[in-house]
Amino acid sequence: MTTAFVPLDTAAVAAGADAVAAAVADNGTEIVRNGSRGMCWAEPTMEIEYAGTRLAFGNVAAPDVPSIFQQHEQHAKCLGEVSEIDYLQRQTRAVFDRAGTSHPLELPKTTVLEECLERDPESLIAEIETSGLRGRGGAGFPAHIKWRTVFDTPGEQKYIVCNADEGDSGTFADRILMEGDPYRLIEGMTLAGLATGATKGYVYLRSEYPIAAGIFQAALDDAYAENLLGTDILGSGKAFDLELFIGAGAYICGEETSLLESLEGKRGEIRVKPPVPAISGLFGAPTLVHNVISFAAVPAIMGNGGAWYADLGVGRSTGTMAFQLAGNVQRGGLIEVPFGITIDEIVNGFGGGSRSGRPIRTIQIGGPLGAYLKPEEFDTPLTYEAIAELGAGIGHGGIVVFDDTVDLARQAHYAFEFCEVESCGKCTPCRLGSVRGKETMSGIIDGRDVEQKLTIIEDLCEVMETASLCQMGGMTPIPVLSAIKRFPEDFRR
Amino acid sequence: MAEIESKSDATAGEIARQHRDRVGGVLIALREIVGRFGYVSRTQEHDVADVFNLSRAEVRGIVSFYHDLKTKPQPSVRVRVCQAEACQSVGARELTKRVESHLGVKLGEMTDAVSLDAVYCLGLCAQAPSMMVNGRPLARADLCDLAEQIPA
């Protein structure tokens, strides 16, 4: 009896997986549409399971399907036994261990929620504190402080809000998780609700991810049917309701206060902090806001213990990080490893160098508001602290590779342009600074009064960094200044 | 009379009323109106404002904030090409030019038949450059036959 697996996730479908699935069906083989394992470079992948072995195939096209069933491991597109694929074997999957193994709506066999329903909030929060988990959305703020604040702040109705507005270029971990293992997120948010006393949750998902929306909504419906959500979770008498909310196209809604405004149905303009959302969030109530991966780490922490999680990683960068390797690289995809791995091991080890075959000139780490680094810095270990020393941030874990054809002046221009397009407009440094920055950078690219304009850029960046209300304006200077500092020759032609 | 005519298709006001008591109901209603009609008209903005007891200016403010909330009728072919960094690193700018000349419109422009918009990240960054045709994501769009992927 042979079973074939063809992913239904966006990365696979966008590369033609539906045609592969149709060819498998034509062949009369039983098919499971699984999530993605994160080997995006090999999508569409296909796996066949027979006689206790599970073989993987990469970059499959529909016409390959009949020969795959005949030739098995002899087939040119065979990647080998799934458990022996180097790209996966070298990873430590605490969050993504189930992603890609089965249909995303197959209920996982886990007893973590059941066990936690009997624990008191204090012990759950203590577990998070022991784990050292820090927010995976970008800021890296210690999670337990937020949890405890929401728990301690009085309020009739408290909320759990998941930020799935994954707008950073070069990131797709939230999407892969929601499409491959949606129950993990549901479970993580439910556990957060039990710990903080919040009985209502929302997942704010960007509209650019329609496939994720469909899968996650189906998982929510199933979770209600299975009594994993609702007013009496697994007969415990404890309640947690969860709803999916789709955004309407605005990068800024990934900023937590802007997201809350949007969730309230308003313009996604950011709020002035303080008060922080943990004290006054959704409708002014205590609200725990975390990124998808932060919540998704919770079941593993509760199941294996905070100490187990803290043992992974280095120093205050505990646990695993889902790095996302993208851009001009041979093997881009999702790489979940403990903190402490070097940039080089990700970019060249996992990634296999540039896709174009040309020398790598720079990477941008941490999304559109992240720094451009030089290959000389690739021996830096990926920890919050070591990356901060470079004047950069890990952000949501995105690493975008560029070869030597990149023009950093153009990238700096783009950083301002992106800020101009996506600024919410509430504060002047961001709303106007982005426009003036773009104009000034155009002048530099044209070679007009370059030195004078570079001084203006520096002044402007200082204003944006110190006077913007949120990180959109506050961090736009990072890609700009890191590019000028490391690649001055691109600005003075 | 208008109510009788639109019996088969919910009006903006009816859509708004369905979501009146939901968290973020205004945005849910506006999204659904765009999904149904392709855009939000001025009249529909007023209908939504009435249902949610908001000023017309407030609803206009919401509509103008979000990229997805269109205010003009949309053509039947809608193409979005990713302009973000990961796609830039492997030829998004060249792809954009190719799509522009294939469709005969510039990025950000639209005709009665087709629209071409920028999008900032479709989450296909490891298979860049990417684009979206009528909501369908396409990876490695640089290798795609545009005539095959984009309906004429």
Tell whether B15 lies on the interface with A, counting CB pairs under 8 A.
no
Q: Is residue A387 located within the same domain as residue A431?
A: no
ipTM: 0.93
Is the pLDDT at B3 greater than 50? The verdict is: no
Is the pLDDT at B4 greater than 50? The verdict is: no
Q: Is residue A267 located within the same domain as residue A381?
A: no
Query: Is it true that domain B77-149 has CATH number 3.40.30.10?
Result: yes
B119/A265 Cβ within 8 A: no
Is the pLDDT at B10 greater than 80? The verdict is: no
Residue A39: what pLDDT?
A: 98
For position A26, which CATH number holds? 3.40.30.10
Angle in degrees, 0-180, between the axes of helices A182-196 and A143-152, rounded to the nearest 10: 50
Q: Which residue of B has its CA nearest to A40?
A: B126
- Beta-strand pair A30-32/A3-5: parallel
- State pLDDT tens for residues A123-175: 999 999 999 999 999 889 999 999 999 999 999 999 999 999 999 999 999 99
Mark which of A388, A403, A418 sits at the end of a domain. Answer: A403
> What's the mean pLDDT in B69-97?
96
Q: Is residue A74 located within the same domain as residue A130?
A: no
Considering only CB atoms, A248 lies closest to which of B31, B85, B126, namely B31
Q: Which residues on B lie below 8 Å from A373 (Cβ)?
A: none
Q: Which residues on B lie below 8 Å from A10 (Cβ)?
A: 122-124, 137
Residues 93-132 of B with CB under 8 A from A: 118-128, 130, 132
Q: Å from B61 to nearest chain A CA?
A: 7
Tell me the two tokens of residue A109: 């066999």
Q: Is residue A96 part of a domain?
A: no
- pLDDT tens for chain A, 493 residues: list them: 899 999 999 999 999 999 999 999 999 999 999 999 999 999 999 999 998 899 999 999 999 999 999 999 999 999 999 999 999 999 999 999 999 999 999 999 889 999 999 999 999 999 999 999 999 998 899 999 999 999 999 999 999 999 999 999 999 999 999 999 999 999 999 999 999 999 999 999 999 999 999 999 999 999 999 999 999 999 999 999 999 999 999 999 999 999 999 999 999 999 999 999 999 999 999 999 999 999 999 999 999 999 999 999 999 999 999 999 999 999 999 999 999 999 999 999 999 999 999 999 999 999 999 999 999 999 999 999 999 999 999 999 999 999 999 999 999 999 999 999 999 999 999 999 999 999 999 999 999 999 999 999 999 999 999 999 999 999 999 999 999 999 999 999 8
Q: Which residue of A has its CA nearest to B142?
A: A15
Q: At residue A79, what are phi and psi to the nearest 5 degrees?
A: -95, 0
Q: Å from B45 to nearest chain A CA?
A: 14
Q: Is residue A275 located within the same domain as residue A364?
A: no
Is the pLDDT at B7 greater than 80? The verdict is: no
Chains A & B: contacts with CB separation below 8 Å: 156
- State pLDDT tens for residues A177-193: 999 999 999 999 999 99
Residue B6: what pLDDT?
A: 41
3-class secondary structure, B48? helix
Q: Å from B21 to nearest chain A CA?
A: 11
Q: Å from A120 to nearest chain B CA?
A: 29
Q: Is residue A175 located within the same domain as residue A239?
A: yes
Domain that holds residue A432: 408-490
Angle in degrees, 0-180, between the axes of helices A428-445 and A450-467, rounded to the nearest 10: 160
Select the residue from B21, B48, B95, B121 to test the A interface by mutation, using most A Cβ atoms within 10 A: B121
Mark which of A370, A403, A436 sits at the end of a domain. Answer: A403
Q: Is residue A302 located within the same domain as residue A392?
A: no
Q: Is residue A136 located within the same domain as residue A26?
A: no
For position A338, which CATH number holds? 3.10.20.600
Q: Å from B72 to nearest chain A CA?
A: 16
Determine the Cα–Cα distance for residues B129 and B94; give it in Å rounded to an integer.
10
Tell whether B54 lies on the interface with A, counting CB pairs under 8 A.
no
Q: Is residue A351 located within the same domain as residue A362?
A: yes
Considering only CB atoms, B139 lies closest to which of A14, A329, A402, namely A14
Q: Is residue A94 part of a domain?
A: no
Select the residue from B34, B81, B85 to test the A interface by mutation, using most A Cβ atoms within 10 A: B85
Determine the Cα–Cα distance for residues A350 and A14; give it in Å rounded to an integer.
22
Query: Residue B45: enclosing H or E segment and its boundaries?
Result: helix B42-52
Q: Is residue A279 located within the same domain as residue A349?
A: no
Q: Is residue A432 located within the same domain as residue A479?
A: yes
Select the residue from A208, A329, A413, A417 to test the B interface by mutation, using most B Cβ atoms within 10 A: A208
A40/B126 Cβ within 8 A: yes
Determine the Cα–Cα distance for residues A147 and B151; give it in Å rounded to an integer.
50
Residue B130: what pLDDT?
A: 97
pLDDT band at B9 (very low <50, low <70, confident <90, very high): low
Q: Is residue A399 located within the same domain as residue A440?
A: no
Residue B8: what pLDDT?
A: 42
The residue extents of the domains of chain B are 2-65, 77-149
Q: Is residue A476 located within the same domain as residue A349?
A: no
A202/B27 Cβ within 8 A: no
Q: Is residue A98 part of a domain?
A: no
Q: Å from A124 to nearest chain B CA?
A: 28
> What's the mean pLDDT in B46-74?
96
Q: Is residue A134 part of a domain?
A: yes
Select the residue from A207, A400, A403, A422 to test the B interface by mutation, using most B Cβ atoms within 10 A: A400
Tell me the two tokens of residue A418: 């992106």
The number of distinct structural domains making up chain A is 4
B125/A324 Cβ within 8 A: yes
pTM for this one?
A: 0.96
Determine the Cα–Cα distance for residues A414 and A480; give it in Å rounded to an integer.
9
A424/B65 Cβ within 8 A: yes
